[in-house]
Amino acid sequence: MAKITGIAHLAVTAKDMDKSLDFYTRVLGFKKVFEIPNPKDGSPWIVYIYVGGNQFIELFYGGVKPYSFDDADRGWNHICLCVDDIFAVCKDIEARGWTLDVQPNQGVDYNYQAWLKDPDGIRIELMQIDPKSPHAKAIKDNN
Q: How confident is the model at residue 73 (pLDDT cuts 50, 70, 90)?
A: confident
Same domain, 60 and 89: no
Q: What is the CATH number of the domain that holds 53?
A: 3.10.180.10
The number of domains in the chain is 2
Residue-wise pLDDT for 84-142, tens only, equals 999 999 999 999 999 999 999 999 999 999 999 999 999 999 999 999 999 999 999 99
Cα separation, 20 vs 24, in Å, equals 6
108 within a domain of the structure (yes/no): yes
Q: How confident is the model at residue 69 (pLDDT cuts 50, 70, 90)?
A: confident
The count of C-alpha atoms lying within 13 angstroms of the C-alpha of 134, restricted to the half-sphere facing its C-beta, is 3
Same domain, 24 and 60: yes
Residue in 35, 58, 94, 125 annotated catalytic:
125
Host domain of residue 121: 78-143
Tell me, yes or no, if 94 is annotated catalytic: no
